[in-house]
Chain A
Amino acid sequence: MSKVAISVREIKKSFALSHSGAASLKTALLWWKKKRIEKLEVLRGVSFDVSHGECVALVGRNGAGKSTLLSLLSNIYKPTSGSIEIDGKIAPLLELGAGFHPDLTGLENILFNGMILGLTRKEVMERTPAIVDFAELHNHIDSPVRTYSSGMQARLGFAIAVHVDADILIVDEVLAVGDYAFEKKCYDYIADFRAKGGTILFVSHNPDSVRKVADRCIWLAAGEVKMDGLVEDVLTAYQAAGDER
């Protein structure tokens, strides 16, 4: 294993911006001559490395490109240009319980979601008891997920994601779910994950949680890395910039 877990080089990503919104053949036929598609450049050349065992927080204002960056790392978008290299198994937590089907039971959804996250059927089966334990859903696991509260769904989603045995966790503001006890459990898990040498890259708007878990902080502004360094330094500068406005 090399030292670098995530290596991002000169990543650029632009999206086609639509003003009409409607996607229909009629619009396509009417406007086929005028190809006036505007490009929105979300990332304008971002580079950084994350070493194995490091925990990096991403901060920045809405629309700075944080979520786009995490989606690129999770293989959901292809970059317009630049390269991404990832060493190890990655578990993206962009949304807890994405892909749950409301009519299936908790147990059926565990199988399905675990496989979406890249486990084999056998592996999911072996881990199911641990997942149910972690989510604390013993009494509800045979009920359809539509009967779950949003907190219960999030707990199940988190429990599945942390049982795929990833080396790298990609987390997009999903830890602010569930009650206090469950939140504590999540932070305990993250501490444990880090102690085992796991790598984390996460987005947070909460300075306290950044201080609590991160050992490095990257400030993203308008699609570029504005500052990359120690948590306290970056947060101070970021908050100062926020107060100025």
Chain B
Amino acid sequence: MRENFKELWRFRELLFAMVERELRIRYKNSSLGFLWSLLNPLVTVAVMWFVFRFLLGNQTDNYSAYILAAYLPFMFFNMSLMDSAQSVIASLPVVKKVYFPREILPLSAVIANFIHLCLALVVFFVFLFAVWATTGFQVAPFTWKIAYLPLLLIPYLALVTGLALLISAYNVFYEDVKYILSVALYLLFFVTPIMYFSETVYYALKNRPNGQLIYTLYHLNPVSMMSTAFRKALVPPGKIEVIDNGVSTMIGPRPFDYGLFAVTVVASFALLFYGYHTFNRMKWRFVERP
């Protein structure tokens, strides 16, 4: 692994150039390129907000901010894996003709999406300030908890990178991996607190037999845990409307479960090592794919 990492370090400039190329291609064809790519999450969140606030009548404060805080990281997860699944197989013609460390392909897809996430988060804060200004300067746009953001982004990047390396390698040999992936990502969206809250889940399970166990299992999904964590760090706490014992109640946010979060962090780094190891084991066979 050390040898492989040294070789990757030697080619770091190529990696950066590749990231630059991905971003350039994405934002190229219009001067509003970056804004266009933000249109999808903004429209999605606007629709979700409309459905929950008006059609379902949910009274949660700052609902749109809560969705964005979970949806933007989820989009990074989603796009990184979809892009990297294709990254090696789409470049096979080049891979067959030129040598360079093959892990650069999925890594550049992940890093380009990560930079996109960072830019989107900047826009997210502009959004928070706009909400703050238009609602009479009541709820502060952010709290000191925002200092936790790097501590969330780093394990999340590790998680995505590990998965991206695994998926990109397996997709070379089994092209149905990407179809399974797109279904899995679609389903993941529903079992992750994005449209709703981990508090919603907590109160729904509270009085069930084994409710606590299911709640814990739910948060062993690293994307769920991260989604909750991003909300805690990014959105100032407001009142959330949940159904408790069949009665609609407004509650404050529940305390953050550091133990479960630690499990996610350890799992993320373990996955990064496993993914990198597996990719290196398989990468010389990419060109020999039968």
Contacts and interface: CB of A to CB of B under 8 A. Distances in A.
A237 interface: no
B17 A77 contact: no
Contacts of B17: 111-112, 115, 121
A23 B175 contact: yes
Contacts of B289: 23
A76 B96 contact: yes
A112 B100 CA distance: 12
Contact of B98 (A23, A103, A104, A117): A117
A77 B288 contact: yes
Contact of A104 (B25, B175, B180, B288): B25
- Residue among B28, B99, B175, B289 with most chain A CB within 10 A: B99
A104 to B, nearest CB: 7
Contacts of A101: 21, 25
Nearest to A37: B290
Given A18-B290, A120-B13, A121-B17, 18 more contacts: A16-B288, A16-B290, A24-B174, A37-B290, A71-B96, A75-B99, A76-B96, A76-B97, A77-B287, A77-B288, A98-B93, A98-B97, A101-B21, A101-B25, A104-B21, A112-B18, A116-B100, A117-B98
B14 A115 contact: yes
B239 interface: no
A115 B16 CA distance: 10
A25 interface: yes
Nearest to B15: A115
A144 to B, nearest CB: 9
A26 B176 CA distance: 9
A76 B287 contact: yes
Contacts of A24: 174-176
Interface residues of B, number: 28
A73 B224 CA distance: 48
Given A23-B175, A76-B99, A92-B98, A104 B287 contact: no
A117 B28 CA distance: 25
Interface of B: 13-14, 17-18, 21, 24-25, 28, 91, 93-100, 173-177, 180, 284, 287-290
A92 B93 CA distance: 15
Interface in A70-121: 71, 74-78, 92, 94-95, 98-99, 101, 103-104, 108, 111-112, 115-117, 120-121
A103 to B, nearest CB: 6
A15 interface: yes
A15 B285 CA distance: 10
Given A76-B97, A111-B17, A116-B98, A103 B28 contact: yes
A94 B174 contact: no
Nearest to B180: A25
B174 A99 contact: no
Contacts of B99: 74-76, 92
Given A94-B98, A98-B94, A121-B13, A78 B174 contact: no
Contacts of A71: 96, 287
Interface in A130-147: none
B21 A99 contact: no
A230 interface: no
Contacts of A21: 290
B24 A108 contact: yes
